[in-house]
């Protein structure tokens, strides 16, 4: 078989390191502060296949999210599993209806993670480490092998197990309480057991193998890829222990070999070691950045402190190459103090936090029963108070909704939430306060059995799109419209919300109550140590949220830390919206008065009987305005348009993407003042980043801003071609320009972020205007590689090709005459079927010759295409059939082959170009038709056909 063009499959992130289990020991509980800059918002995205997440990555990027929590990707034990009943943790599914998971396959997962990590979106899958699927002690289940990687201690012959029997790696089901009882009937793993096996057997007959069943735990040579390479250089880890579990413990981690997975070394391990190896494999091979830890309080804390934390210590590699502790956050439904005392660890060795379940519950109470509780209740209930008595963002992961406690639903198929149920004003509070924050989206894109578990509904507008604007409970394609209320808040958080959280209601002499309205600022101390509020602080943004649903406006007069005379603009658009504020009672701009006080009008969530669900305002200093333009040779880039409105809600890509086709392109930022009456509403600097950053795009010899620059600039580059800040030029406009070498970018999607900073004093916190622009680099058609079909006998043959990530459509032809342009011949009948993310299949009529030419056309989303011709059987010199000059081989060399090529060469036909820089390179050519092509063919023809 000969191929004119060879491609390669793109794989996931590089494999880095593996694990080996050491003995039981343990770590000093300490809680450090979060970064002073704000955390990126995490999108909890459920009920969407990995493939659709991948194709909508541009929407996630433009919407401003920096992290994503998704379901457990591994195979479950139920039909259409949501991932909470794990069967085989190392199986992500394969192609075919019966083999894939509800979310996709290993390849679709890999492609999705690669696309999201392209702009440094942090990936947090659910980790299910407390249990496997539903308890089943039947003799039949034991004969099958129980669960992959786990031992049930079956009798010989197996008999049904019950309470009081020995279940091997599991508890017997007779226990109770958080630790020893089964959670909703799911079989509980006994992490303290120490049965040593090779738990993913590779070689049959090894006495250390976990006993095989008829279905599971059967030796398989392919299992070698799940093990690290013990012959490589190991990395020693010493866990210092915690106050809960004092004493050090030592581990050695070895790397997985991404280039040659067959170098893995199976090791003896117990059930805990198996789970540790899975956790590290997820980070180092599968591209996860951390985990949401399901049912964390149902696992004894020694497992987390000693083993889990040791497995993940410095396992994540940042875009600039540093080793750091992955971020994890647990689910524990208990008192804040109990969770803090037992299930949080934030010291130099580990980075493990918890969901703020209590605070989320009281925010939902505030939404669903606004007259039954108050903002004071919410402030008091946050777990953030527990470690130091303050709501300062250094403890707890904030959210309102989740799959367990969503907008609507009860575990069965949920209805579509209306606008009130989505809690937009409460998201203003959530997103503008400090600490990690989660917005939950359920896309209803997974078909589930009627009697199965359905995650509850989320915030449908989480990606800037409203599938049900008329609130009729039906997701009508034709009705879907843009709705950026939530994504506007996500981006305002990025641009403004940094510094300390300070509620201001107490400064209102007339109405200091927190019953209905909360007013708070995010403010930065402008001196080191001994800062007194408000004199030694500088505010960044002011937020007010109203929980009332009767009609009206509430007014508060509060003291801030903004300097007197600062002009504050309402940033959400609510003050300028004729539905929210038909009488212009809410000022578009307020000026900070004497004693740093402002009078702020906060709309209720109802205006004149119309429910707006927009009872919030956000005020901040004006940012520089402007626009980013991308050009090639002075001309604007072309675009890939957003999906048409007829595209279903869960599949519809909402944003245009600019297309780069040349070897270089230019980024230009033109700025203008954001407020003609504000002398600081201009830019004093601007920076840019492509993808995850940390690359020398301006060719000045280094990355301009390393990780010590803080979240506002880390990984970004300066504009070096032109750098004229408005504040320096003396005018009201600024300009920045940088030419980018596009050959440094792979074909496919890329992500440009530009930040223009408001002029501020050095001691003040930086705030900026951010532009996010997705780009598609399209310099060549997709690369394909044919899976060797071996001998072909006809009359039909199924061919499979591997494609690079840019290919979206493939067509195949057998013995297509050279007289036809393959691009003109593609139609629905020549189209191949996508088998998996990187593979396409097609069955073709091939006759009985046993050789011929396969022509493959691969298209990408831009419409660009590649044509690849593959000679199967025969040889390069064989170009005719039975003496007919048609360019189709017949497995033999004759004079007619020479005559046919001579005519093509003399006629200067493109298919006669068979050399590259004078070297025979059939099918690729590229150096023009000259004597070297004739010489190449002559020598080939003279050699005959083997």
d(CA 5, CA 290): 39
In 10-123, where does DSSP find H-type helix?
Answer: 50-55, 57-63, 106-117
| DSSP per-residue codes, 796-817 | EEEEEEEE-TTEEEEEEEES--
Backbone angles phi, psi at 459, to 5 degrees: -95, 100
Q: In whole angstroms, what is the distance from residue 476 CA to residue 374 CA?
A: 36
Interatomic CA distance for residues 165 and 158, integer angstroms? 12
Specify burial of residue 361 (Cβ count, 10 A radius: 0-12, 13-18, 19+). middle
pLDDT, one tens digit per residue, over 561-612 is 999 999 999 999 999 999 999 999 999 999 999 999 999 999 999 999 999 9
Report DSSP state, residue 903: H
The bridge status of strand 616-621 relative to strand 567-570 is antiparallel
Q: Which two tokens stand for residue 133?
A: 């699927």
User: Which residues of the chain are modeled with pLDDT < 50?
Assistant: 1-36
Cα–Cα distance, 783 to 747 (Å, whole number): 10
CA 350 – CA 370 distance, rounded (Å): 39
Residues 19 and 250: beta-carbon distance below 8 Å: no
> Are 521 and 539 a contacting pair, CB within 8 Å?
yes
pLDDT the model gives residue 946: 65
Residue 365, Cβ density class (10 Å: 0-12 exposed, 13-18 middle, ≥19 buried): middle
Q: Cα(419)–Cα(702) distance, rounded to whole angstroms?
A: 48
Give pLDDT, residue 923. 66
CA 78 to each of CA 186, 286, 782, 895: distance values in angstroms, whole numbers, following the listed order: 12, 23, 37, 64
Asked, as a colleague might, if the bond just before 795 is cis with ω within 30 of 0, I would say yes
Classify 12 as helix, strand or coil. Answer: coil
Q: What is the pLDDT of residue 818?
A: 81
Write the CB contacts of 677 (distance below 8 Å, at least 6 apart in sequence).
567
Closest CA to 730 of 756, 759, 689: 759
Residue among 7, 12, 17 at smallest CA distance from 50: 12
Under DSSP, the state recorded for 305 is I
Cα–Cα distance measured from residue 691 to residue 121, given in angstroms and rounded to the nearest whole number? 10
Distances in Å between the Cα of 374 and the Cα atoms of 363, 369, 371 are: 9, 10, 8
pTM reported for the whole predicted model: 0.91
């Amino acid at each position: 078989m000969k191929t004119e063009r060879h491609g390669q499959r793109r794989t996931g992130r590089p494999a880095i390191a593996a694990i080996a289990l050491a003995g039981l020991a343990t770590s000093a509980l300490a809680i450090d502060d979060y970064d002073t800059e704000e955390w990126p918002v995490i999108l909890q995205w459920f009920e969407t296949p990995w493939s659709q997440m991948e194709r909508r990555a541009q929407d996630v990027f433009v919407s401003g999210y920096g992290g994503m929590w998704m379901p457990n990707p591994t195979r479950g034990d139920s039909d259409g599993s949501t991932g909470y009943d794990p069967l085989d943790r190392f199986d992500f599914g394969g192609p075919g209806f019966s083999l894939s998971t509800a979310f996709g396959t290993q390849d679709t997962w890999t492609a999705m993670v690669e696309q999201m990590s392209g702009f440094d979106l942090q990936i947090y899958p659910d980790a299910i480490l407390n249990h496997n699927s539903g308890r089943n002690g039947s003799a039949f289940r034991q004969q099958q092998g129980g669960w992959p990687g786990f031992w049930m201690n079956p009798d010989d012959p197996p008999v049904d197990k019950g309470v009081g029997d020995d279940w091997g790696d599991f508890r017997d089901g007779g226990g109770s309480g958080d630790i020893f009882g089964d959670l909703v009937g799911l079989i509980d793993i006994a992490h303290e057991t120490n049965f040593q096996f090779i738990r993913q057997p590779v070689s049959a007959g090894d006495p250390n193998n976990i006993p095989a069943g008829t279905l599971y735990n059967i030796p398989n040579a392919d299992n070698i890829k799940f093990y690290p390479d013990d012959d490589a250089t190991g990395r020693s880890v010493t866990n210092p222990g915690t106050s809960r579990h004092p004493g050090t413990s030592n581990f050695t981690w070895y790397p997985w070999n991404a280039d040659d997975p067959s170098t893995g070394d199976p090791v003896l391990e117990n059930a805990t070691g198996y789970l540790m190896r899975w956790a590290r494999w997820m980070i180092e091979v599968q591209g996860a950045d951390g985990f949401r830890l399901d049912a964390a309080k149902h696992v004894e804390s020694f497992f987390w402190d000693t083993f889990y934390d040791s497995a993940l210590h410095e396992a994540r590699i940042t875009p600039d190459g540093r080793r750091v502790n992955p971020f994890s956050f647990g689910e524990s439904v208990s008192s804040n103090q109990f969770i803090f005392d037992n299930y949080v660890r934030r010291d130099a060795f580990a980075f493990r936090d918890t969901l703020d379940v209590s605070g989320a519950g009281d925010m939902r109470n505030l939404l669903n029963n606004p007259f039954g509780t108050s903002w004071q209740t919410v402030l008091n209930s946050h777990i953030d108070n527990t470690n130091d008595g303050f709501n300062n963002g250094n403890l707890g992961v904030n959210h309102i909704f989740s799959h367990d406690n969503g907008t609507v639903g009860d575990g069965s198929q949920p209805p579509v939430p209306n606008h009130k149920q989505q809690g937009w004003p409460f998201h203003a509070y959530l997103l503008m306060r400090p600490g990690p924050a989660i917005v939950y989206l359920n896309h209803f894109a997974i078909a589930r059995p009627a009697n199965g578990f359905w995650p509850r509904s989320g915030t449908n507008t989480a990606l800037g799109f409203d599938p049900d604007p008329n609130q009729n409970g039906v997701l009508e394609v034709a009705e879907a419209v843009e709705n950026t209320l939530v994504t506007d808040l996500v981006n305002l958080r990025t641009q403004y919300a940094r510094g300390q959280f300070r509620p201001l209601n107490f400064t209102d002499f007339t109405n200091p109550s927190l019953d209905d309205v909360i007013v708070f600022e995010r403010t930065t101390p402008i001196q080191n140590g001994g800062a007194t509020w408000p004199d030694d602080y500088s505010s960044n943004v002011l937020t007010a949220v109203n929980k009332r649903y009767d009609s009206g406006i509430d007014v508060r007069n509060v003291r801030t830390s903004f300097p007197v005379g600062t002009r504050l603009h309402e940033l959400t658009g609510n003050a300028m919206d004729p539905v929210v504020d038909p009488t212009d009672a809410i000022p578009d701009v307020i000026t900070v008065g004497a004693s740093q006080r402002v009078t702020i009008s906060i709309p209720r969530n109802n205006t004149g009987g119309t429910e707006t669900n927009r009872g919030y305002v956000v005020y901040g200093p004006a940012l520089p305005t402007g626009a980013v333009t991308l050009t090639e040779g002075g001309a604007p880039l072309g675009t890939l348009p957003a999906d048409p409105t007829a595209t279903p809600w869960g599949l519809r890509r909402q944003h245009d993407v600019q297309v780069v086709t040349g070897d270089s392109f230019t980024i230009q930022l033109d700025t203008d003042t954001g407020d003609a009456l504000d002398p600081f509403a201009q830019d004093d600097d601007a920076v840019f980043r492509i993808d995850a950053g940390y690359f020398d795009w301006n060719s000045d010899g280094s990355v301009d801003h390393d990780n010590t620059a803080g979240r506002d600039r880390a990984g970004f580059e300066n504009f070096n071609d032109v750098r004229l800040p408005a504040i320096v030029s003396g005018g009201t406009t600024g300009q920045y320009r940088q030419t980018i070498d596009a050959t440094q970018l792979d074909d496919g999607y890329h992500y440009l972020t530009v930040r223009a900073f408001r002029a501020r004093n050095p001691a003040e916190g930086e705030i900026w205007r951010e532009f996010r622009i997705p780009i598609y680099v399209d310099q060549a058609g997709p690369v394909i590689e044919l899976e060797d079909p071996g001998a072909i006998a006809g009359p039909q043959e199924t061919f499979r090709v591997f494609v690079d990530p840019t290919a979206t459509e493939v067509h195949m032809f057998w013995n297509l005459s050279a007289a036809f342009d393959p691009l003109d011949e593609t139609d629905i009948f020549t189209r191949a079927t996508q088998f998996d993310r990187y593979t396409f299949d097609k069955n073709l009529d091939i006759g009985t010759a046993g050789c011929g030419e396969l022509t493959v056309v691969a298209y990408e989303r831009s419409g660009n295409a590649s044509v690849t011709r593959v000679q199967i059987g025969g040889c390069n010199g064989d170009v005719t059939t039975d003496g007919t000059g048609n360019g189709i081989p017949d497995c033999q060399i004759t004079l007619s082959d020479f005559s046919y090529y001579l005519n093509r060469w003399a006629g200067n036909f493109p298919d006669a170009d068979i050399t590259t820089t004078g070297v025979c390179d059939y099918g690729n050519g590229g150096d023009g038709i000259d004597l070297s092509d004739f010489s190449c063919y002559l020598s080939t023809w003279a050699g005959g056909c083997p």
